[in-house]
Structure formats: structure tokens, C-alpha cells
Amino acid sequence: MMRQVAIIGAGMIPFGRRDEDTLLDMLAYASLKALDDAGMGDKGVDAVYVANMGAGILQHQTSVASALVDRLSLMPAAADAIENGPASGASAIKNGVLAVASGYYDYVLVAGGEKMREVVGWKATDFVCTMTHPEAEYPYGVTLPGMAGMFTRLYMEQYGLTREQLIAVAIKNQKMGSLNPNAHVEMIITKEGIADSPDSVVNNPMAADPLHLYDMCPVSDGAAAVILCPLELAKKVTKKTPVVVAGFGQATDTHTLQEREDPTDLKAVTLASRQAFEMAKLTPKDVDFAELHDAFTILEIAESEHAGFFKKGAGGKAVEKGETSLGGKLPINMSGGLKARGHPVGATGVAQVVDSVFQLRHELGKDRQVKGAKIGFTLNFGGFGNNVVAFVLTRAE
Amino acid sequence: MDEIKITAYKCKKCGRIHFPFHDRCLDCIARDFEEIKPEGPVRLLAFTEIYNLPWGFDVRTLKIGVVEFANKVKAMGQIDVDEMGDLKTGMKLTAYWEPVRKTADEDVFGLVFR
């Protein structure tokens, strides 16, 4: 019988361009915030999982988990680095949850971090492209935004998705990011500024046809961390309301888009979400808010449909009608999402959970807090949907 | 014209065509494949134009597409047309084997559709 796992501490540092900090600095700062948030004091942890995608390429640094344990004086804790592309963060949490649920470890620190802004743009782009297939995709220069562009056009053709619906996602998430002190992008945008005025051609140029600059998340530095323990021990450590990892799921799909029978079908999103809901004995209708992986505006809409919140083709209309805004049927990305919070790839899956913990503990201001939130959902999307991790999180009363 | 130097793999058990290579069939997990070459004109399945390029390209933008050959092999490649308005999902194109990027001053060959 697996133990129920609680998140008793959550911390993150503001995402953005952090020239003054090393990757290890950022991981350490976020970890200390999570340890302090949990009220762990000087208590150690049994194990540390560090999510990071690119230190080996971007910083010429390996063994970041061992380095973090040393930096935080957490020896002799077990330490592992987890690399699963942009889904590294949620993968690391899933491994931490399994370790606690199994009874093997009681206290686990999971930290995710990435430092992407210290290299020039084309190097950062090339780094992210290393996720693509080395023979069938990478040589052609296809980027992840490029894949999203192809996906978007097909979605428009098959489901009637409109550019206005994508713009609505961008406007909503940048508005929420402007209210999040940890967000990379704090600028509110308008439809006039990015689509309807003569200046919009300059403000919002094409990035990967039919997607424009404001359909993309920024390239960010940042880190986030959580502390896990068995639910039965949680109240002995923290005075804050624990958050329970009620369900999780992970699924994979083909490496190349071309080998998917229907390239608009994000099977791994559907399967991972279904697993998470089944484990939690809940359904999408029970969820009070979601943090989805909107690296591109299209993904928020497509994921909201594939995770079961809306029927295929209905997600875009839901955004336009305000159903995914604060006060709507299902608020999505009240953190600003990747679009505004930023996307330091190894940190993102952890940051989604950290922001959900803040929501479930009812710690946010009125302008971002989902009233009475008890159940949250997160989805971390690796590659172009070839490795997806989902969580259902609940407030422990 | 250079021969298209990609090899696709047809499962000997169920007939599914794979590109790139897999050790086991994506449909029936059989391990025996017949090597086949892509043949005929191609049908454009998906396309985009990318403005922010990675390392290795000395051009302003790249048009990229996924196509299906007449013998059902699906593959990605670069598209050589003047305007995006010239492209439509489902249109017929011809595939060529040409330089697609440079690595260490050496041409890397791949699929180009026009």
C-alpha cells in the first residue's frame, strides 16, 4: 500500500534574466525557500532530486544534484539529477513522490532550475533543438516553435481555431504574469498592440508561421523547489496546510511528429491526464484551476482539450468567453503560465506545482487567487508532446 | 540529381512504414523490416516558416514541412518556394536531395521540397 504524499514546502525565485546568479545559486536559493517554507529548520532531507535539462550543454557542468547537496550541506542525502527535456521538473517530482510513497524516504527535496540567458539566442535555440530527432528532424533546422507552427496550422484547419483565440491566451496570461512577483514578463498587452494596429507588425512579428512573437514564452533563467513527505508526518513539520499529490500520470508518444497517425492528437497528454485523474479518483469536472504548459499559446488550448476539460475544438472558444480567466469555469495559468512566468526548462514543471501549492493554500491576492480552490491540475509537456507528466493536487483539510 | 539517401523501414509482419528507424514496429512490435526508398511525388502534410533559427544556418528564415511520398513514407524537409502563400496543405511537391546546412564547413545533405 503506497503512502499518501504531501507537499509541505514550496519556493521559487523570480524568473527572468539573472546574470548575477549561477545555476547552482538559483537552485540553492529556491531550495532554501522551500525548506524554510516547510519549517524544516536545520533538519536534513533523505533524498534530493534535481531537474535540469541543459547544464551539460549551456554551462559545461554536470552532476548538478551532487553539487546542490554539497552547497546546501545536505550530505549524506541521496542525490539524483533528472533530465526529461522541458518535462524534467514534473519528472523529478514524480520520482520524489514515488520514493516517499514507497516508504523508502520520508523527506525529499525536489529542485528544478535552468540558466538559459547566458548564451546568445541562436545557441539557446540550438540547445532546445537537441530534443528533436537527430537524423529525421534536427538537420533541417526545425525548432520547437516551428513544430508548434505546423501544429497550429493543422489545428486551425481541422478544428476552426482562430488567431483571435490564440491572442486571447496571450493577453490573459500576460495580465496574470503582471500580477505575479515571480514572473519573467510583467507587461500587459492588448489586442490593438499585438494585432490590430499598424504598429503590431513591428511589435509582434511572425516567429513560426502562423505563430507570432507574442504566441511564444520567453527564454528564462530560474529555479523552483518543493519539499515532499508522507501526509501522516506533514502536520508534525509544517503549520501550513499541506497539499496532497492525489494523482500523477506520465505517458510518451513518438519522437517525430510525422509518425503520429493524427499529428493534432496529443495522445500522451490524454493518457497522462487520465492516469492522474484515475489515481486521484477525480474527474476534470472536479478541478478548480489548472497550470498548463503554454510554451506556445496553442498548447494551452490543445492541452485543455486533451486533458479532458473541453471537447476538441472548444478550448479556443472557452478562452474567448473568459471561461479560463479568474472567475471563469476553469481558470488556467493564473501564474501567467510559461508565457509570462517564463520557461527555464528544467524549472518549469516544479514551478507549476509551486504556484499550485500557493493557490491551494489560499495565499495569493484577490487578483490571482481562485476562490476556495481545493483541487488543482498541472501538466508539464516534454519535447513536442512525446513525454508528458500530469499531477492532480488537493488541499489537505 | 542526387539520389534521396534516406531509408525507410516496412514492417514484414504488419506492413507499417517507419521513418526514422525503430528496433520494433510501432504497431505490432515485430523486429523484421524490409528497407525501402521513398518514391514518387510528395504531398505536403504540414508546414511553417521559422524566423528564429538555430546554429548552422546562414539564411534569414527557413520553410520547413512534413510530407508523404507516393509510397507512404513520411519525412520532414526544407521547402524551397518564394512565398508562404504558395503553399497549401495537401499540395503536390517534388523531393530533392540537396545541402540543407553546413557543419564544420561541410555540407549536410537532406530533403528539399519544391
pLDDT in tens, A24-61: 999 999 999 999 999 998 889 999 999 999 999 999 99
Grid cell in block for residue A377: 491540475
Whole-number pLDDT of residue B1: 55
Backbone angles phi, psi at B35, to 5 degrees: -75, 130
CB A106, CB A57: distance < 8 Å: no
Residues of chain A with pLDDT under 50: none
A202 contacts in chain B (CB < 8 Å):
none
In a domain, B88, yes or no: yes
Mean pLDDT, chain B, as a whole number?
95
In a domain, B101, yes or no: yes
Coil, strand, or helix at residue A214?
Answer: helix
Tell me if B76 and A146 make a contact (CB, 8 A cut-off): no
In this predicted model, what pLDDT tens digit does every residue of B23-71 receive, in sequence order? 999 999 999 999 999 999 999 999 999 999 988 888 999 999 999 999 9
Whole-number pLDDT of residue A326: 98
Q: Name the nearest CA neighbour of B57 among B113, B6, B110, B2.
A: B110
In a domain, B8, yes or no: no
Provide ipTM, 2 decimals: 0.97
A257–chain B Cβ distance below 8 A for any pair:
yes
In a domain, B19, yes or no: no
Within a 10 A sphere around the Cβ of B82, how many other Cβ atoms?
A: 7
Tell me if B51 and A139 make a contact (CB, 8 A cut-off): no
Name the pLDDT band for B9 (thresholds 50, 70, 90).
very high
Mean pLDDT, chain A, as a whole number?
97
A276–chain B Cβ distance below 8 A for any pair:
no
The domains of chain A are located at 5-120+219-237
B55 contacts in chain A (CB < 8 Å):
122-123, 125-126
Burial track A27-52 (b if 16+ CB lie within 10 A, e otherwise): bbbbbbbbbebbebeeebbbbbbbbb
- DSSP string for chain B: -------EEEETTT--EESS--SS-TTT----EEEE---S-EEEEEEEEESS--TT--SS-EEEEEEEETTS-EEEEEE--S-GGG--TT-EE-EEEEEEEEETTEEEEEEEE-
What integer is the mean pLDDT of B6-17?
97
CB A349, CB A113: distance < 8 Å: no
Grid cell in block for residue A313: 475544438
The CA-atom distances, in angstroms, between B82 and each of B52, B63, B85 are 18, 10, 9
CB A166, CB A301: distance < 8 Å: yes
In a domain, B94, yes or no: yes
Whole-number pLDDT of residue B103: 87
Tell me if B51 and A142 make a contact (CB, 8 A cut-off): no
In a domain, B60, yes or no: yes
In a domain, B25, yes or no: no
Grid cell in block for residue A394: 488537493
In this predicted model, what pLDDT tens digit does every residue of A281-290 receive, in sequence order? 999 999 999 9
In chain B, the number of structural domains is 1
In angstroms, the CA A150 to CA B64 distance is 9
CB A214, CB A234: distance < 8 Å: no
Q: Give A 131-150 residues with CB within 8 A of chain B.
A: 133, 135-137, 139-143, 145-146, 149-150
In a domain, B59, yes or no: yes
Which of 2.60.370.10, 3.40.47.10, 3.90.930.12, 3.40.630.30 would CATH assign to domain A5-120+219-237? 3.40.47.10
Query: Could you list the residue range(s) of the whole structural domain that residue B96 is in?
Result: 39-113
In angstroms, the CA A274 to CA A267 distance is 11
Give the closest of B51, B57, B75 to A205, CB-based.
B51
Report the predicted TM-score, pTM, of the whole model to 2 decimal places. 0.97
Whole-number pLDDT of residue B55: 83
Whole-number pLDDT of residue A397: 80
Grid cell in block for residue A314: 472548444
Q: What is the maximum alpha-carbon separation in chain A?
A: 62
Contacts of A351 (CB under 8 A, 6+ apart): A12, A15, A89, A112, A182, A222, A224, A335, A341
Tell me if B52 and A263 make a contact (CB, 8 A cut-off): no
In angstroms, the CA A222 to CA A239 distance is 27
